[in-house]
Structure 1
Amino acid sequence: MKLEIKPIGNSYSEQAIELILNIQQKEFNTPITIEDQPDLKQIESFYQEGGGNFWGAFIDGELVGSIALIKFDERAGALRKMFVKKEYRGREFNIAQILLEILISFCRENRIGDLYLGTITVFKAAQRFYERNLFTKIEKEYLPERFPLMSADDIFYHLKID
Structure 2
Amino acid sequence: MEALIAPIKNEYAAAIIDIILPIQQREFNVSITLQDQPDLLDIEKYYHASGGGFWGAHIDGALVGTIGLIRYSEDSGAIRKMFVKKEFRGKAFGIAQQLLEGLVAYSKENGINHLYLGTVTKLEAALRFYEKNGFVPIAKADLPKSFPLMSADNVFRHLPLK
TM-score between the two structures when normalised by the length of structure 1: 0.98
Q: Partner residue of 2:158?
A: 158
**1:73-104 CA-partner distances (Å, limit 9, x unpaired):** 01000000000000100000000000000000
1:3 positional shift: 1.5
1:144 positional shift: 0.2
Q: Distance in 2 between matches of 1:2 and 1:141?
A: 40
Q: Partner residue of 2:17?
A: 17
**1:121-148 CA-partner distances (Å, limit 9, x unpaired):** 1100000000000100010000000000
SS of alignment partner, residue 108 of structure 2? helix
Q: Distance in 1 between matches of 2:60 and 2:26?
A: 24
Q: Distance in 2 between matches of 1:79 and 1:30?
A: 18
1:5 positional shift: 0.9
1:2 positional shift: 4.2
> Matches of residues 1-162 of structure 1 in structure 2 within 5 Å?
1-162=1-162
* Aligned partner letter, 1:138: I
1:26 positional shift: 1.0
Q: Distance in 1 between matches of 2:63 and 2:27?
A: 17
Q: Distance in 2 between matches of 1:82 and 1:46?
A: 15
Contact 1:7 1:56 in 2 (8 A): yes
Identity %: 57
SS of alignment partner, residue 36 of structure 1? coil
Q: Which runs of 5+ in 2 are unaligned?
A: none
Q: Distance in 1 between matches of 2:66 and 2:109?
A: 20
SS of alignment partner, residue 54 of structure 1? strand
Q: Distance in 2 between matches of 1:37 and 1:60?
A: 28
TM-score between the two structures when normalised by the length of structure 2: 0.98
Q: Distance in 2 between matches of 1:5 and 1:42?
A: 20
Q: Which runs of 4+ in 1 moved over 2 A?
A: none
Q: Distance in 2 between matches of 1:104 and 1:5?
A: 13
